[in-house]
Amino acid sequence: MPASPRRRLAPPAPNLFLGLTPREARLENARVAVIPAPFDQTTSYLPGTRFGPQAILEASRQVEFYDEELDREPFEIGVATLEAIEVDPADIEAGMRRLEQTVESVAERGIVPLTLGGEHSLTLSPVAALQRRFPGLSVLQLDAHLDFRDAYQGTKLSHACVMRRIRDLGIPTVSVGIRSVSKEEADYVHEEKPPVYLAREIRAKGLPVDDIVNDLGNPVYVTVDLDAFDPSIVPGVGTPEPGGLLWDESLRLLRAVCERRQVVGMDIVELCPIPGQIVSDFFAAKLANKMIGYLGLSPEAPAKKRATRRAR
């Protein structure tokens, strides 16, 4: 095995996930559409999530095509990358509408949207679009925070409120990795009783994968706030919290969800790249490729015309 992935011979297209060629990343053949969504409006602590999507796309060019766990090249199921959503910081709602429309047209084609953020508030848009198509939708949230506040810093569209907005749509949620909760959110949990898996208990007893999957309805939308992970492995987030999820256990969960539920949409949000420090960017890119690989295990939608197998 080479120490680092071999570089492609042709100059890679700068904005396509994994550095695939436009031919390999054709939307007509895709089962997954990567949607860069550089939202960065309400991040409370450290801004910079607007740079997240592009950092993930750049880091993804260093991700090995072949996945040793799955013994396949995940991109073979067909992975397109769409133009980044246009986001005006002065009008976040317009950006959210654009994202919602994009997800809607992607889902109409039977393609799974994988949105790259960007701050977590964006998740409301794909979830709302997918709920219209999949009325029984439920949401799995990996996150340090519940995001159950009714409003935060004067807005109901804050990243600190996104899961509350989703629950307001009548969508059941399951939260995993939680370790930062406001009093208001604790009261809400006591009242509404959504399943919440605290990081402290996960660290003490292990991640209860079966319980979490059983709490989910079908189909499922998966939202991964990168601050769910321990900041020792993902420091590049706006609001790092100690005591988070680890890589392998999280993959076990994501794989189980893809194997036992129909996953109809996913996002990876809140990457706040640290200049000169690519560990978080690469983590997010590899996670995206893993999730695409696990999607390929799902029996619901077999691969369309396969992209050509080739070495990196």
Site residues (CB under 5 A) for Mn ion? 143-145, 225, 227
Identify which of residues 145 and 261 has a Cβ nearer to Mn ion in the complex: 145
| Least gap, CB of 227 to Mn ion (angstroms) | 4
Instruction: For the CB of residue 9, give the shortest distance to Mn ion in the complex, in Å.
Output: 40
Q: How far is the CB of 64 from Mn ion (least distance, A)?
A: 29
* DSSP helix/strand/coil, 76: helix
Smallest gap from Cβ 23 to Mn ion, in A, equals: 37
Closest CA relative to residue 24, chosen from 310, 241, 308 = 308
Nearer to Mn ion, 19 or 244 (CB): 244
Q: Which residues contact 155 (CB under 8 A, 6 or more apart)?
A: 42, 161
- E strand map for 92-229: 112-117, 138-142, 173-178, 196-198, 220-225
Of residues 80 and 237, the one with the C-beta less far from Mn ion: 237
What's the chain's length in residues? Answer: 312
Residue ranges of E strands in 145-262: 173-178, 196-198, 220-225
Q: Which residue, 24 or 225, has its beta carbon nearer to Mn ion?
A: 225
Angstrom distances, CA of residue 307 to CA of 1, 13, 264, 303, 311:
23, 17, 21, 10, 12
Provide the minimum distance between the beta carbon of 48 and Mn ion in the complex, in angstroms, as a whole number: 15
Residue 100 or 143: the one with the smaller Cβ distance to Mn ion is 143
How far is it, in rounded angstroms, from Cα 239 to Cα 216? 27
